[in-house]
Chain A
Amino acid sequence: MSLRQAQPFQNGSAPARAIADDESDAEEDALVQDYREQVQYDQDGLEDLNRTISAQAGSNEGIFQQLGNAALPLDFQATLDTKISSYYNYCDLFHFLLNTAGPLDVEPPNYYWAWDVIDEFIYQFNSFCSYRQRLALKRDNTEEVQVMRDKQDVWACYSVLNVLYSLIQKSQITEQLAAQKRGEDAAAYAGDYGSRPLYKMLGYFSIIGLLRVHCLLGDYSLALKTLDDIELSKKAMFARVMAAHFTTYYYVGFSYMMMRRYADAIRMFQHILIYVSRTKNFQKNPAQYDSITKKNDQMYALIAICVAFQPTRLDDTVHTAIREKFGEQFNRIQRGGPEALPIFEELFRLACPKFITPTPPDYDNPEVNVDPIDHQLAIFMEEVKINMWSPTLKSYLKLYTTMDLKKLANFLEVEPDKLRSRLLVNKQRSRQTRWSEGGLLDGEITNTNDLDYAIQGDLIHVSEAKVGRRLVDWYLRNLARTY
């Protein structure tokens, strides 16, 4: 690990660096890190002390040091060589963990260590792929291109997946979680490796890691399928590590959105955004809280997009925050029409994960290397275009119980045939799969629109689904307050 340039100043805040790869943010970020270094100095001093003590006791100092280092972020100005050697370091470490004669008898340095390792591992994979892509597009750095050509195996998609799947298998985490779900004792299924916290945690967070990798590759259904064994609740293991909790909901929500299950996406984003805003004051590690602010904003943008697709009454705190952060944009995308398209695009770019392609770009023909973000954006925008007339249409239909098609067409200044198509589109899009129980991919088709209509010849019959007052939430909250 001698080649690593990162300074060991931040344990447990690896995702802090997730915001660091935007060049525009670089300077600001350097300041933040500098500040963090000072603030955390005391705390880290103590941890280092603890580390030496326990390492001496366990007499495998080297391993312990390695475990600790694996969770540390690379310096964001790291050279290509450093990135590559970091990959080999991970390979060595995981190889050592998985292929030694028996399980390694070491306690993880702390409860968030396993998350930090997996998070950093995937982060480096992700940024390496993006770097590779940029390199091919710029086509001026022949030296580095040559290095990339020589080392095709570095940060290859197959080896990253291999690590994650191996950790999951070795720790028998899926068996353990399945047993837990059935109400049995998970330990009975854990095996030699899985009964040790080190392996169990690594296996568990590898599942979350897979969710993330699949989503980055554009495989949204497989991403959701991956979480079959994990129950999404505040009691789940990932909820103990704030960054893990946060990341999980972001990727699940995003995948739902790309599968056009907006109701489910909104549910996910809203859950985590409320959770963050409520626990803001209790976060032990202000630096870590700081680091999720950007992801937080991204999720507000995503929830705004989803609400534009499917008008929903949001929780007050979430609604207020969207208004504060994206007030003008939020209004415009809710209004729909062609003017809203650039706003959708802007918000999507701001909030989407940094998509990657699993294969190295074509260095000889830079033109064929389309940025995967543009690719996913193009797919998303087709859907936006198809839906863009719905808001206006709905606002008119709301005013009537019966309406003549031709008359409405006149109001909207379109041909009756076009209007008929728009009515059909809106109707189809209001039928959405919505989760009720079981795996994340399960769900029932429900009408998510408060407006329903049918066309009889030239007559549109409109009906409204009224939502009764929601009392339970209010009642429970007040009960909790008073007693």
Chain B
Amino acid sequence: MGVPFDFAEGRPDLINAILNGLDRYNPESTSVLQEYVMSQCESQTYDCYANLALLKLYQFNPPLSRDETISNILVKALTVFPTPDFSLCLSLLPPYTLFPSGTRSATPAAGDAPLAEAVQKLTLLNNLLSGADYATFWATLDSDDLYADLVADVTGFEELMRVRIAVVLSSAIREIQRPVLEGWLNLHGKEFEHFIKDVCEWKIEGDNVQVPLNKDNKAEGTVVRENVKFDQFARIVRRAYEQPA
């Protein structure tokens, strides 16, 4: 059974109360939710539904909005790719953030430019991740100091991303050449071996890495059969009683 979108493990009661009540629109909830984002960053937990509620408060009350928190939320959403979370966050941001300032005339009055830049940079990362172009993702991440600033608040960002990449690729791959995987994880030599053996518990055989079989990388042919529920026949059965003849 899947986990409902609005569920997060270990969500504090206070947050739950805010999310399920009208306080989710109360500007005074902002600080509580902001702290909650910070604690997610520090403790490597994640609660998309609560973060979206905070973005909504920002959407309604732009003066309360804090660029730093927005970028932290987006970075957290990166760590759960390829879910739609990142896009859902983007949908709640002010519309100008996604468009390069080149298309607008350069006005100094548009003082929010740093946010737009951060959002666009993170969107680029998200697209690389969604497009499974992991090697370029790492290269891009290293290419600009701004990225380092953006992800700085999220404890263990690189480690989180490596684990996530490993999880995602294990759904499609049984065996992969070592150099390719090294590029995807941005790890080499001893560190690479440690990560593969101890964190993922995969095997390195010669120049290849073996990924154990799981339900997704089996690729078995199946025949989908329809599920017939008794309810579907309720009308027919009722008819049979109504018209005994």
Spell out A's residues near B (CB within 8 Å): 157-158, 161, 165, 217-222, 224-225, 258-260, 357-359, 364-365, 367-372, 374-376, 378-379, 382-383, 385-386, 417, 420-425, 427-429, 431, 433, 438-439, 441-445, 447, 452-457, 461-468, 470-472, 476, 479-480, 483
Contact = CB atoms under 8 A, between A and B. Distances in A.
Contact of B232 (A258, A424, A472): A472
B133 interface: yes
24 contacts: A217-B92, A225-B6, A258-B91, A260-B87, A365-B107, A367-B110, A370-B98, A375-B98, A382-B87, A382-B127, A420-B180, A421-B131, A428-B132, A433-B2, A438-B4, A442-B5, A452-B221, A454-B173, A455-B173, A456-B174, A466-B224, A468-B225, A470-B226, A483-B239
Contacts of A461: 219
B90 A379 contact: yes
Contact of B222 (A259, A383, A465): A465
B171 interface: yes
B91 A219 contact: yes
A401 B90 CA distance: 40
B221 A465 contact: yes
B156 interface: no
Contacts of B99: 370, 374, 378
B177 interface: yes
Given A383-B87, A476-B236, A454 B217 contact: yes
A220 B226 contact: no
A259 B172 CA distance: 23
B95 interface: yes
A358 B169 contact: no
Contacts of B222: 463, 465-466
B49 A221 contact: yes
Contact of A441 (B4, B219, B225): B4
A279 B102 CA distance: 51
Nearest to B218: A454
B32 interface: no
Interface string B11-39: 00000000000100100000000000000
A358 B226 contact: no
B235 A465 contact: no
B198 interface: no
A407 B153 CA distance: 44
Given A370-B95, A476-B236, A260 B105 contact: no
A382 B123 contact: yes
Given A157-B60, A428-B171, A375 B95 contact: yes
A439 to B, nearest CB: 7
B59 interface: yes
B153 to A, nearest CB: 24
A161 B25 contact: yes
The 3 closest A-B pairs by CB, nearest first: A375-B95, A218-B91, A370-B95
Contacts of A464: 221
Given A221-B52, A445-B2, A476-B236, A424 B107 contact: no
A14 B18 CA distance: 35
Nearest to A435: B2
Contacts of A385: 127
Contacts of A221: 5-6, 48-49, 52, 88
Nearest to B91: A218
A208 to B, nearest CB: 19
B96 interface: yes
B64 to A, nearest CB: 12
A386 B131 CA distance: 6
Contacts of A157: 60
A365 B92 contact: no
Interface in B185-227: 208, 216-226
Contacts of A441: 4-6
B148 interface: no
A376 B89 CA distance: 11
Nearest to B62: A359
Nearest to B84: A260
B70 to A, nearest CB: 15
A453 to B, nearest CB: 5
Contacts of A220: 88, 91
Contacts of B172: 423-424, 427-428, 453-455
B109 A457 contact: no
B176 interface: yes
A422 to B, nearest CB: 7
A359 B95 CA distance: 11
A187 to B, nearest CB: 25
A225 B5 CA distance: 9
B91 A379 contact: yes
Residue from B22, B52, B60, B135 with most neighbouring chain A CB atoms (10 Å): B60
Given A379-B98, A480-B235, A165 B219 contact: no
Contacts of B5: 221, 224, 259, 433, 441-442
Contact of B223 (A219, A423, A465, A472): A465
B139 interface: no
